[in-house]
Structure 1
Amino acid sequence: MSPWPTYPALQWLAVVEHELLLFAAIWFALFAIDEMAVDLAWLRLRLTGKLRTPRLSHPCNAELNGLAVVLVPAWLESRVIGPMVRHTLQSWPQRNFRLYVGCYRNDLATISVLVALAPDPRLRVIIHDRDGPTTKADCLNRIYRAICEDERRSAQRVRALILHDAEDMVHPAALTLMDRALDQADFVQLPVRPEPQRASPWIAGHYCDEFAEAHARDMVVRHHIGAALPSAGAGCAFSRRAIDRILIARSSTEPFAAECLTEDYECGLLVHQTGGRSAFLRVRDSSGALVATREFFPADLVASVRQKTRWVHGIAFQGWDRLGWKCAPGDIWMRLRDRRGPLVALVLAAAYLLIMLWPVVVLAKAAGLAVPVDDGPLLSGLLAFNLASLIWRLMMRALFTGREYGPAEAVRAVFRFPVGNIIAVLAARRAITAYVRVLAGGVLRWEHTVHHVHVSQAAKLDADPQQRPLPVAA
């Protein structure tokens, strides 16, 4: 005889729904406890006065304590690299500053834009001797080799290496603030501020919610508990001594791992792992605006899923393989949070499957075609706890979004919550597929995000929509 009970199909569906509900409820409760632990740590810091955000009383553009170089990798960035370079050179007038832009020999459009820029002795354009696209890390390594060559020629050693992307808009005070912070730290990260896009309030808007919470809560808590800080790849500065230690740890002449999809995240953790000190710098200028790197994030579903696929693959899978778990308890906690993306996506997928099964099971029970499965006190308690924690989570998300973007965006943040979940599920599925393909001997693929408009152009384009560029294929 079969060990399995014999149920009608609809009764089996009711049993499956119950088991999925229990599975999702347990994991959602664990995730909620984790998030609440971070919330409590943040609230404790807030109530004890340790989270006061300094405000600059005057412009902060003093000369630097040493030579600072900004590394900007660029592949198919002809639409944004010109405004980015012009704005950066204008915002940072310091003489002891150099802007290195790395592009590829087969990207003539980007090269043409850079050649047409007004000459500035602080700008260096580096042409990669390989066809693009390679990985971002590979392009950064080419820029780094050029920096080392310039150091040998000038006999002047670089003090700070700063990472930025071609779509970034820097804050005028950021360079001096990072330079001063490197007096006590080896790695400094400024907040990243995604800019709202009227044409994409849901897809682009969900980045506003996630970064507002991550860079006002998560990174602040990591900083105060002494855990390693990941680099966002934009608005972050490494001291030269930190880079030298990373080179030794890698037994390499190149600081960035060309085979890594999230080389910036990895380098941030390596600073701490090699004995350096990291700092998250949250400051507001005299007008109250956050000193942050501003940029437009993907505005359509396909581009957003591709970008987050790269993040999940690099942080969750490659991070596990490359960095492991040999670290302090606080770091283990934070690495668990960083790498839980695929598991969260699995639980979310189960939850959305439940949403589809629920009306079928309800109708089957109402028609007498299925017998209700008893929830029991454990499941009932978990459901009540998860409902309360969801309300709390939405309130916190709205709080952080509202502080940075205003009350209208705070309300939208509540309704954008499922949008982020759906993108996370789709990205995790693609990341798992890509990771398995690499394990089977496949080639690691870099999926580049094409940018169409720089933040500094936004006001002009809003005033004259005829000047808005047409989309190009990624």
Structure 2
Amino acid sequence: MMWSVDVFATYLYGLKFIAVTLAVLILISGLDDLIIDVVYWLRRAWRAATVYRSHDRLDYLALYKRPEKPLAIMVPAWHETDVIGRMAELAATTLDYENYHIFVGTYPNDPETQSDVDKVCARFRNVHKVVCARPGPTSKADCLNNVLDTILQFEQRANLQFAGFILHDAEDVISEMELRLFNYLVDRKDLIQLPVYPFARTWSDFTSGHYMDEFAEVHGKDILVREALAGQVPSAGVGSCFSRRAVMALLADGDGVAFDIQSLTEDYDIGFRLRTKGMSEIFVRFPVVKDGEVAHPFTPAFGKSVREANVVCVREYFPNTLATAIRQKSRWIIGIVYQGFRNHRWTGDMTLNYFLWRDRKGGITNFVSFLATVVLFQLTALWLYQAVVPHGYEFLSIFEGGPWLTALLTANLVLMTNRIAQRVFFVSTFYGLAEGALSIPRLFWGNYINFMANCRAIRQIVQEGDPRRVAWDKTEHDFPVLGEQGRARRPLGRILVAQGVISEEQLATALVHRTRGLKLGSWLVHEGMITAEQLATAVAEQSGVEWERVDTLSLDPRLIQQLPSELALHYAVLPIREEGRTLVVGSEGDVDPVSIAALGRKLKRPVSYVIVPKGQVTVGLRQWHARWRTDDARRALNDAVSAGRLTAPSADALWQEYVSRQVLFAEVVMSLGHLDAAALNAVLLRHETTSMSLGQFLVHEALELQKTVQGSMHSLLERAGIGVSSYDDVLETSTV
């Protein structure tokens, strides 16, 4: 029996050696983390005592003062059936922004996702499908390269330039003010990163919960310190906005390829590439606390910080199964630790090197933390044994040492206490005290996940022989339930045929011979093949709304005042009635969900729409909102009736024909191909703040651009060193 005790004692001596080694490594890592803690809190105290005493915090209303620049959202999609539609719906109904487009990257061997995206594109005019050149799954970087190439082609067709390029996943829930914030900063910053906060699941779901804990601390503290000290911000791959200058630099750097297709963490890679080019990067924690919300630092009921819990951020569900979490984290570890070491060598900037070390130490600390937990459980078991057995073996005496060991363990205890306190604080400020308390046991579960992920990462690298050969492993995410999805749009011509209004032969003739500058429905009405009401019925069925007969010239002026002129002209709608708080507007064509949501935000009330017969909105806009009226067709018709030259029924028929043949200027411009729908929307947003007609505005912009581009002789002479007075002398001399 004694031999077993000797063996166990030998094991304990070995355990002591391991424990001491781990304690030293934990001390080094703990002191490293303490540096970040100290810098964060000193910086926070200094800013509170100086910056925020002399300067007011930027109010969210300031974001509305910048005109909306075109922004492109890039979304890679592999096996994302039924997700893209929900994302587009959520964006349309929640984003307080209108001038954006979503480009979805799909694969040729993923027909289900392609079909789903096609339906979304038919309903949302600002969603565009991209089909990658290679079958999937490729890397996320490869998909993004295909998406970016399509965006640049789209810019040429639409005659516009995107100011910012935003990375998102299909499952992301985007904050209402995200695009406003990007729009505000993108002229001055080249990489803008928002914090990411995972959604909470049940309290017992420790796997998804540990993501909450890690992101809350890293995006609440660590990245802020990194930006302040090193000026470098790693992109999170979601909620990241790149300026046009940054994207063009990445394309030039990669000979037309912006994202490294061999990198499993292309987002992390880009942050360093832009930093080496001297570009400006920022991590933004911008709280949006609106009127009526509590402005106290903390809400006692939940323990949340009102400001911190209302930052503009990205929300999404993270994996809640152990296997999925290990797969995802092993990909992160390979990309950041092992590929990062190969791709990003140590630099001459010691501050940046320090954060490179912090990124890479995970390859060691993931093992150390888990092994330390295992040792701790064993020591706890030994302590329980000695507490329960009065005269048992004093196994813990083996772990006794001199003052140095006591000091080492005491220091680690203090550092561990600080580590837990920091974690609880940052989790609580966003999620509340309950989640903050749960972050303590989740800390140990997270250590196990990170340990297993590290083991898997090393195994994959050994199997492939090179970290850059490891294949991309997409992580499946959940998406919040939003309710019933919108149906796909049917072509207008097919609806008219199905309704028996026109024949297949007439449709074929119309598609071939319709007049330039007119849409299909307008041409059919102009040719007398269908009536304006028949067109309204078909358009209403296509849009999934009702249609109504209305005389827009007889509307109540008080109702007209409910919709400002600039909005009526921009969206080509007129208010026709109120249903409670909801304003019902009439339109001659489909109004996309983004525009309806934007109109509701601008009016600060719910808005719905119905289809009205062709021409009614056009003549109504001219009557109620036209800035310059060239003639009054109704008065001319009434004068003819009064003079006895026309009967009332004939006048009514003539009026209906006249109205049905009226066409909006924007429709003609689009149908002629002079402006893409996307470019037209961007123009209308700029036109909304002017008093000019749309035609005059377009001419004015062209003339201003001409002046800017061609320059003047005055400016050329000044650049040559001839001042204004000298320039005047030259003019006087030349006239003598």
Fold in common (TM above 0.5) = yes
**C-alpha distance in 1, partners of 2:150/2:365?**
41
Q: CA deviation at 1:335?
A: 1.1
- Specify the alignment match of 2:144 in structure 1: 140
Q: CA deviation at 1:305?
A: 0.8
- Specify the alignment match of 1:227 in structure 2: 231
Which range moved further: 330-339 or 346-355? 346-355
Give the AA of the match of 2:479.
V
Matched, 1:266 2:287: no
**C-alpha distance in 2, partners of 1:334/1:107?**
40
Q: Residue 106 of structure 2: SS of its match in structure 1?
A: strand
Give the AA of the match of 2:402.
G
Which residues in structure 2 correspond to 1:161-200 (within 5 Å)?
Answer: 161-198=165-202
**C-alpha distance in 2, partners of 1:57/1:345?**
40
* Equivalent of residue 292 in structure 1, options 286, 304, 313: 313
Matched, 1:125 2:129: yes
- Specify the alignment match of 1:253 in structure 2: 256
Give the AA of the match of 2:262.
E
Give the AA of the match of 1:262.
T
Which range moved further: 80-89 or 366-375? 366-375
- Specify the alignment match of 1:463 in structure 2: none
* Equivalent of residue 312 in structure 1, options 319, 330, 333: 333
Q: Does the C-alpha gap of structure 1 residues 377 and 185 become closer, same or farther in structure 2, counting only changes over 3 Å?
A: same
- Specify the alignment match of 1:277 in structure 2: 280
CA contact (8 A) 2:461 2:467 kept: no
Which residues in structure 2 correspond to 1:336-355 (within 5 Å)?
Answer: 336-355=357-376
Q: Residue 74 of structure 2: SS of its match in structure 1?
A: strand
CA contact (8 A) 1:74 1:166 kept: yes
**C-alpha distance in 1, partners of 2:236/2:483?**
23
Superposed CA offset, 1:162-207 (max 9, x none): 1001110111211011121122211100111111012753111111
Superposed CA offset, 1:11-57 (max 9, x none): 32122111101111001111111111101111011111259695645
* Equivalent of residue 398 in structure 1, options 420, 424, 441: 424
Q: CA deviation at 1:105?
A: 1.9
CA contact (8 A) 1:168 1:454 kept: no
Q: CA deviation at 1:115?
A: 2.1
Q: CA deviation at 1:436?
A: 2.1
Superposed CA offset, 1:106-157 (max 9, x none): 2222222222225222111112232211111111011011112122333433
- Specify the alignment match of 1:17 in structure 2: 15
Superposed CA offset, 1:317-373 (max 9, x none): 001101111152221111111111110122124313424654787779944899825
Structure number with greater Rg is 2
**C-alpha distance in 1, partners of 2:187/2:467?**
45
Q: Residue 476 of structure 2: SS of its match in structure 1?
A: coil
Q: Residue 302 of structure 1: SS of its match in structure 2?
A: helix
CA contact (8 A) 1:200 1:300 kept: no
Give the AA of the match of 1:401.
V
Q: CA deviation at 1:435?
A: 1.9
Q: CA deviation at 1:399?
A: 0.5
Across the two proteins, how many residue pairs are aligned to each other? Answer: 451
Give the AA of the match of 1:316.
V
Give the AA of the match of 1:347.
V
Q: Residue 229 of structure 1: SS of its match in structure 2?
A: coil
- Specify the alignment match of 1:377 in structure 2: 403
Give the AA of the match of 1:402.
S
Q: Does the C-alpha gap of structure 1 residues 101 and 11 become closer, same or farther in structure 2, counting only changes over 3 Å?
A: same
* Equivalent of residue 421 in structure 1, options 447, 450, 455: 447
**C-alpha distance in 2, partners of 1:248/1:57?**
35
CA contact (8 A) 2:216 2:427 kept: yes
Q: Residue 345 of structure 1: SS of its match in structure 2?
A: helix
Q: Residue 330 of structure 2: SS of its match in structure 1?
A: helix
Q: TM-score, normalised by structure 1?
A: 0.88
Q: Does the C-alpha gap of structure 1 residues 201 and 440 become closer, same or farther in structure 2, counting only changes over 3 Å?
A: closer
Give the AA of the match of 1:222.
R
Q: Does the C-alpha gap of structure 1 residues 102 and 381 become closer, same or farther in structure 2, counting only changes over 3 Å?
A: same
Q: CA deviation at 1:256?
A: 0.5
Q: Does the C-alpha gap of structure 1 residues 387 and 91 become closer, same or farther in structure 2, counting only changes over 3 Å?
A: same
Q: Does the C-alpha gap of structure 1 residues 237 and 391 become closer, same or farther in structure 2, counting only changes over 3 Å?
A: same
Give the AA of the match of 1:326.
T
CA contact (8 A) 1:76 1:450 kept: no
CA contact (8 A) 1:61 1:172 kept: no
* Equivalent of residue 114 in structure 2, options 98, 111, 116: 111
Q: Does the C-alpha gap of structure 1 residues 218 and 370 become closer, same or farther in structure 2, counting only changes over 3 Å?
A: closer
Q: Residue 48 of structure 1: SS of its match in structure 2?
A: helix
Give the AA of the match of 1:162.
I
Superposed CA offset, 1:394-453 (max 9, x none): 111110011001111111111211111111101011111112223269952211111233
Q: TM-score, normalised by structure 2?
A: 0.58
CA contact (8 A) 1:213 1:397 kept: yes
**C-alpha distance in 2, partners of 1:43/1:359?**
34
Unaligned runs of 5+ in 2: 291-306, 485-736
Higher relative contact order (CA 8 A, sep 6+): 1
- Specify the alignment match of 1:468 in structure 2: none
* Equivalent of residue 414 in structure 2, options 388, 399, 404: 388
CA contact (8 A) 2:373 2:444 kept: no
Q: Does the C-alpha gap of structure 1 residues 73 and 434 become closer, same or farther in structure 2, counting only changes over 3 Å?
A: same
- Specify the alignment match of 2:160 in structure 1: 156
Q: Does the C-alpha gap of structure 1 residues 372 and 303 become closer, same or farther in structure 2, counting only changes over 3 Å?
A: same
* Equivalent of residue 45 in structure 2, options 44, 47, 58: 47
**C-alpha distance in 2, partners of 1:381/1:223?**
34
**C-alpha distance in 2, partners of 1:424/1:128?**
33
Matched, 1:237 2:237: no
Give the AA of the match of 2:74.
L
**C-alpha distance in 2, partners of 1:340/1:457?**
44
CA contact (8 A) 1:75 1:132 kept: yes
Q: Residue 161 of structure 1: SS of its match in structure 2?
A: strand
CA contact (8 A) 1:243 1:255 kept: yes
**C-alpha distance in 1, partners of 2:100/2:400?**
68
- Specify the alignment match of 1:202 in structure 2: 206
CA contact (8 A) 2:23 2:408 kept: yes
Which range moved further: 204-213 or 437-446? 437-446
Which range moved further: 52-61 or 204-213? 52-61
**C-alpha distance in 2, partners of 1:411/1:280?**
27
Give the AA of the match of 1:73.
P
Identity of aligned residues (%): 30
**C-alpha distance in 1, partners of 2:396/2:202?**
48
**C-alpha distance in 2, partners of 1:400/1:457?**
33
Q: Residue 116 of structure 1: SS of its match in structure 2?
A: helix
Give the AA of the match of 1:453.
F
- Specify the alignment match of 1:82 in structure 2: 85
**C-alpha distance in 2, partners of 1:169/1:360?**
45
Q: Residue 372 of structure 1: SS of its match in structure 2?
A: helix
**C-alpha distance in 2, partners of 1:60/1:435?**
46
Matched, 1:452 2:450: no
Q: CA deviation at 1:212?
A: 0.9
Superposed CA offset, 1:46-89 (max 9, x none): 11125969564549567755321110001112242221122123
**C-alpha distance in 2, partners of 1:293/1:425?**
27
- Specify the alignment match of 2:465 in structure 1: 439
CA contact (8 A) 1:10 1:361 kept: no
